[in-house]
Amino acid sequence: MKGEAVCVTGASGFIGSWLVQLLLDRGYTVHATVQDLNDEKETGHLKALEGADEGLKLFQMDLLDYDSIVAALKGTSGVFHLASPNVIGQVVDPEKELLEPAIKGTKNVITAAKELGLQRAVVTSSISSIVPSPNWPADVPKGEDCWTDEDYCRSQGLWYPLSKTWAEKAAWEVAKEKDMDIVVINPATVLGPILPPILNSSVAVVLALLKGSSETYENFYIGCVHVKDVANAHILLYENKSAKGRHLCTKDITHFGDFAAKVAELYPDYNVPRFPKDTQPGLLRTENAGKKLMELGLNFTPMEQIVKDTVESLKARGYLS
């Protein structure tokens, strides 16, 4: 892959930073997009990545500014579209804060990719496009054929999963309309070593557990996955042209209570709450949920190692003593 250029939108984020690093390791030239080139919190850790001096080019991009997207994609052969808003705290204006940039931004990226003749777009969707899905049959594992219940999300004010669901559906619609080759990845709760200076929402779940939070995340949890596995999965989907459709990115489907119990087992000195065994009624536990990615050669990291890598990173960053 020496010299081939690809674009990573949302490169400063938790997954994006690791994806950029692994692409650089493989010899790619990376066009990495950020919201503000003058914000050291977005750019500093990217510039410090190994190989960045030779292979990294930073671009300021706005999901609603088509020209800025074209500028970032120009000269590349493929794009990894990770950029999507994720509001921390109360959502005041769902349309402006989440829905419009997620949906229109995805349409803009795929349209620009087709216009510029890119070979493939890997679209980062989410487990949030698969759950919550309360009406899914309780005896059937949730997987790539399951979609989040849009009416349920609207009634509960779950705007983030709604934004991810509509953005992914928009990606498929525009790709069909434009005849653009896309493939989608749907990661579960992404954990592991932190590269950005700002703590992301999924790793914050582990921190909250270790500090005694009893919130159960029953609407969203379906399993956890190592951030480096997610980054590697993106590359597998880009490089394997036979890969088609959606790809659930987690080895096993588990309950949030299973995960919390593992954290408590590994770190007994912390006040991790105990949860009932079945924290998510209707969610069927299953092994090898990510078999499509496993068949492409992805080896998922076990939950125990995922937890250890996350907690040790939190300690190293000063979030835990």
Neighbouring residues of 20: CB distance < 8 A, sequence distance ≥ 6 = 8, 11, 30, 32, 46, 49, 56
Task: Give the residue numbers marked as catalytic.
Answer: 164
**Strand ordering across the sheet containing 248-249:** 56-60, 29-34, 5-9, 78-81, 120-124, 182-187, 248-249
Q: What is the DSSP letter of 28?
A: -
CB 183 within 8 A of CB 247: yes
Maximum distance among all Cα pairs of the chain, rounded to whole angstroms: 56
CB 35 within 8 A of CB 60: yes
Collapsed DSSP state (helix, strand, coil) of residue 239: helix
